Amino acid sequence: MARPTVARIHLEAISHNYRLASRMAGDARAMAVVKADGYGHGIRAVAHALAEDAGKYAVACLEEARAIREAGLTHPVALLQGVHQQADLKDCVHEDFEPVLHSPAQLAWLSASTEVPRFWLKVNTGMNRLGFRPEELAGVWSGLKAAGHDSNLLGFVTHFACADQPGNPMTAQQTQCFEQATAPWPELMRSVGNSAAHFLEGQPLYQWSRPGIMLYGGSPMEGKTGLELGLKPAMTLEAPLIATRTVRAGESVGYGATWTADKDTRMGMVAIGYGDGYPRHAGTDTPAAIGGRRIRLLGRVSMDMLAVDLSSVPDAREGDTVELWGDTVSVDEVATCAGTIGYELLTGVTARVPRIYQ
């Protein structure tokens, strides 16, 4: 029998979360962000689950967009990082991919192309990763007009740096900067909102929002879990208890002997570790669950296993299923314990862990 360490993917939760995003987006439509293999949930299955609801998908790169086509879906797909070579533009035309162009080099490929896709322009309003500065847009526009490519421009995209913090003034500043920068083209579309922006009161989302993490039930907001925001967890990561023992007072557990029992303690070993994508930085006291009851990790996470405290679940037995995250323990809590965010944990579940769709 196969090792029962699995990620159960709840496609109904993903649909629920998408519908919530859609409602929260108001008049904007929500393109479903399914990059990084659907945030670790499997891009094909996720794209299929959203096929009826979502009018558009968004991914980071061409390979991911092709996976959507290979899954038999024909929706437009936005490429959030544009393309990496001129030849890719031709594929975009034929496949209905919409690259978000962010650099002079990408524009040069566009002018040199005979076949030009519909595309977006990325505007840098303060994130300072990618995009044209507001004052550069007029020049970019004249270049597009001169090449006869202006009619392929769908609109403008920008990205927020601090939307996960509701009180942070930077989001309003970026929004204002974006409004001013794009005001000369009122007939074109605009897109600003990642998941977090859906939760900011009064935040304009224009024609298209771009929810990612919230589709999977992960929290986009600092200090809040997805459950607290009304999201349903789309992944339950589970593994079997493969051994139980009592460690005596004074004995330690695991590499580095970082946890020592202060009294005799019944503990268990769980068949999952950082080789499966469970974060090694999650230390003693990180929550897990058995049968809906919360337990805690003990000591260091190894590559293929980790130790848990069974004091609070005396009836737990070898073969029982341990939830590492899911309905009882939010991935956001585990992430906080590991000094990271749910995004990293969800996208980091390795290929060794089968995804089971239900």
Ligand X SMILES: *Cc1c(COP(=O)(O)O)cnc(C)c1O
Binding residues: 129, 303
- From first CA to last CA, the distance across the chain in angstroms is 20
Provide the minimum distance between the beta carbon of 8 and ligand X in the complex, in angstroms, as a whole number.
21
Tell me if residue 57 is catalytic: no
Provide the minimum distance between the beta carbon of 302 and ligand X in the complex, in angstroms, as a whole number.
30
Size of the site for ligand X (CB under 6 A): 12
Radius of gyration of the chain (CA): 23
Alpha-helix residue ranges (DSSP H) falling in 238-351: 331-337, 342-348
Q: Name the 3-class secondary structure at 98.
A: strand
Q: Name the 3-class secondary structure at 328.
A: coil
Q: Which stretch binds ligand X (CB under 6 A): 62-70, 137-145, 194-202, 243-251?
A: 194-202
**Which position among 117, 131, 211, 342 is part of the footprint of ligand X (CB under 6 A)?**
211
Calculate the alpha carbon distances from 18 to 61, 132, 324 in Å. Answer: 22, 30, 24
Catalytic residue among 145, 216, 232, 255: 255
Tell me the C-alpha distance between 307 and 298, whole Å: 5
Q: Which is nearer to ligand X, 265 or 347 (CB)?
A: 347
Q: Tell me the per-residue interface mask from 52 to 91 with ligand X, x by CB under 6 A, - otherwise.
A: ----------------------------x-----------
Provide the minimum distance between the beta carbon of 211 and ligand X in the complex, in angstroms, as a whole number.
5
- Extract the tokens encoding 356: 């089971």
Q: Which is nearer to ligand X, 14 or 196 (CB)?
A: 196
Identify the H or E element spanning 242: strand 235-247
Region 213-272 residues binding ligand X, contact defined as CB under 6 A = 213, 220
Tell me if residue 35 is catalytic: yes
Q: Which stretch binds ligand X (CB under 6 A): 147-155, 205-213, 232-240, 320-328?
A: 205-213
Alpha-helix residue ranges (DSSP H) falling in the chain: 11-24, 35-39, 43-49, 62-70, 87-95, 104-111, 137-147, 170-182, 195-198, 331-337, 342-348
Identify the H or E element spanning 293: strand 293-298
Region 103-162 residues binding ligand X, contact defined as CB under 6 A = 159
Provide the minimum distance between the beta carbon of 90 and ligand X in the complex, in angstroms, as a whole number.
23
Region 4-33 residues binding ligand X, contact defined as CB under 6 A = 33
Identify the H or E element spanning 9: strand 6-9
Provide the minimum distance between the beta carbon of 194 and ligand X in the complex, in angstroms, as a whole number.
4
Q: Which residues are catalytic?
A: 35, 255
Q: Using CB under 6 A as the criterion, which residues of the chain lie in contact with ligand X when the complex forms?
A: 33, 35, 80, 159, 194-196, 210-213, 220
